[in-house]
Structure 1
Amino acid sequence: MSQVLAATGIGVRFGGVRALDGVDLAVHGGEVCGLIGPNGAGKTTLFDVVSGIRRPDEGRVLLDGRDISRRSPVWRARHGMRRTFQRQQLFGQLTVADNLLVAQEWRGGRRKLAGRRSRAAAVLRECGLDALADSYAGVLPVGQARMAELARALADPPRVLLLDEPASGMSGEERGQLAVVVRHLADEEGCAVLLVEHNVAFVMELCSRVVVLDLGTVLAEGDAADVRENPAVRDAYLGTAAST
């Protein structure tokens, strides 16, 4: 698998507090990489840096080996980077289908509208949302809204997908559907997926590799089994639940 996304030596300061300190991270095509850690570890700050919302004080972000550290979020999105957020960012007064059309709007052209609609319909079917295409996004239950936000991120095919707590508020069945969609995206389409999630069992089952942040630094990295058994990770985050 080729390396698609890399963050090297990332440092971010908020006044006298170092939110990230020399963080290195890489995600390969076809890989689902989990990013876990206690609250305040720096996970969302790292997502902000990678997606271009925040510029780091030190370090670089690379996409397919190209330094994109000074590129805008819009530029990154148009070059295949997609992101979801902890707090849902759907357009509540639009239908679910229209949310997906908006994500493709930048491609323009009325003559291409039929193609965008076809793509939106296919993604909604894949995400189990086709029956909700004409429902307003603002009235969806949390689990369906999370899936709709994922569908919007997939409407324009991603090269890199950043998922920030996508399973929060989902039922067990919805998490299963989420896992199927994400695994298909990685396995069949070669997308590089970076996933932040507090549901450790979900992360360990879905992700081929896990990175643990603590106090702004990388505490551990490896496959799920190795990370689960790491004593430092247990002490910092997993606690006694790791052995249950």
Structure 2
Amino acid sequence: MTDAPVLQAVGIGVRFGGVRALDGVDLALRPGEVCGLIGPNGAGKTTLFDALSGIRRPDDGRVLLDGTDITRRSPVWRARHGMRRTFQRQQLFGQLTVADNLVVAQEWRGGGGGLAADLLAAPTRRAYERSRRERAAAVLRACGLGDIGTSYAGALPVGRARMVELARAVADPPRVLLLDEPASGMTDSESGHLLSVIRHLTVEERCAVLLVEHNVAFVMELCTRVVVLDLGHVLAEGTPAEVRADPKVTDAYLGTAPTR
């Protein structure tokens, strides 16, 4: 039996003055799925992320989490209920260490599941802080960052900073993860490791991932389903092979005939 969607966009429309950035966009994301969202610049990808994460309230349509309408809920509420997001521009706390970036991400005791229980079980604040440090260290090791926990985040090269952003987003385990160009600035080796980490999140932790990425090869290798936006509309949707072979997608975005 197919899992019910954990996150849905239903008829989402966003206008900037007289310009329709999104017009009737539908999207469903299921637990354990990696869905790629691609399209040319200006297609509406980041605007859709803003609407899903609560940064921008859509003019039309609804956002559903587990079937419940959360369109008017704040980004903080959504985060407390397991939604996480990264951004195109790096948003690390540059004057904090890498480890402290992950500790801060747990401070508010969000909706991932284990942290509130840790707090109730800890007899002292010191024990609770230790549990956050231990979780941060474990996530950094899983992301291949165990050797830079004491480095300042603002001094990192782009590729490693991107991976730290992912680590911080999953420090408190998410149910839904929105990744906006996570492989930007990464080497082939770094993007390969990123791919492995995302696969672990979906397969082992059943996290649902929606990915915006201009590296089409990365998207096609990682994602089980791809949605193509163009001028605020869903142009195509399907498996990577189906999308790559779609002539509408070739004309609007990929720019070359599909290869065999």
- TM-score interval (norm. to shorter): over 0.9
1:203 partnered with 2:219: yes
Aligned with 2:91 (options 86, 89, 92): 89
Q: Displacement of 1:112 after TM fit?
A: 1.4
In structure 2, how many angstroms separate the alpha carbons of the residues matched to 1:119 and 1:69? 32
Identity fraction in percent: 77
In structure 2, how many angstroms separate the alpha carbons of the residues matched to 1:207 and 1:99? 28
SS for the counterpart of 2:201 is helix
In structure 2, how many angstroms separate the alpha carbons of the residues matched to 1:236 and 1:242? 13
Change (3 A) 1:200 1:241: farther
In structure 2, how many angstroms separate the alpha carbons of the residues matched to 1:223 and 1:29? 17
Q: Which residue of 2 aligns with 1:12?
A: 14
Aligned with 1:47 (options 46, 49, 67): 49
Gap regions ≥5 residues in structure 2: 110-115, 120-124
In structure 1, how many angstroms separate the alpha carbons of the residues matched to 2:218 and 2:197? 14
SS for the counterpart of 1:130 is coil
Gap regions ≥5 residues in structure 1: none
Structure 1 segment 38-77 matched on structure 2, within 5 A: 38-77=40-79
Q: Which residue of 1 aligns with 2:230?
A: 214
Q: Displacement of 1:86 after TM fit?
A: 0.3
Structure 1 segment 1-244 matched on structure 2, within 5 A: 1-107=3-109, 110=125, 111-240=127-256, 242-243=258-259
In structure 2, how many angstroms separate the alpha carbons of the residues matched to 1:2 and 1:136? 41
SS for the counterpart of 2:55 is coil
Q: Could you list the per-position Cα deviations for residues 90-120 of structure 1 after superposition, in whole angstroms to 9, with x for gaps in the alignment? A: 0000000000000000128624111111111
Q: Which moved more, 1:48-57 or 1:112-121?
A: 112-121
Segments ≥4 residues shifted beyond 6 Å: none
**TM-score w.r.t. length of structure 2:** 0.92
**TM-score w.r.t. length of structure 1:** 0.98
In structure 1, how many angstroms separate the alpha carbons of the residues matched to 2:244 and 2:256? 11
In structure 2, how many angstroms separate the alpha carbons of the residues matched to 1:112 and 1:90? 23
In structure 1, how many angstroms separate the alpha carbons of the residues matched to 2:42 and 2:258? 20
Change (3 A) 1:241 1:181: farther
Report the AA paired with residue 141 of structure 1. P
SS for the counterpart of 1:85 is coil
SS for the counterpart of 1:194 is strand
Q: Which residue of 1 aligns with 2:113?
A: none
Change (3 A) 1:242 1:171: farther
In structure 1, how many angstroms separate the alpha carbons of the residues matched to 2:235 and 2:210? 17
Q: Which residue of 1 aligns with 2:112?
A: none
In structure 1, how many angstroms separate the alpha carbons of the residues matched to 2:201 and 2:8? 19
Q: Could you list the per-position Cα deviations for residues 108-134 of structure 1 after superposition, in whole angstroms to 9, with x for gaps in the alignment? A: 862411111111111000100010000
Report the AA paired with residue 40 of structure 1. G
In structure 1, how many angstroms separate the alpha carbons of the residues matched to 2:211 and 2:257? 21
SS for the counterpart of 1:104 is helix
Q: Displacement of 1:243 after TM fit?
A: 3.0
Report the AA paired with residue 8 of structure 1. V
Q: Which moved more, 1:232-241 or 1:167-176?
A: 232-241
In structure 1, how many angstroms separate the alpha carbons of the residues matched to 2:190 and 2:7? 28
SS for the counterpart of 2:249 is helix
Q: Displacement of 1:241 after TM fit?
A: 6.4
Change (3 A) 1:241 1:82: farther
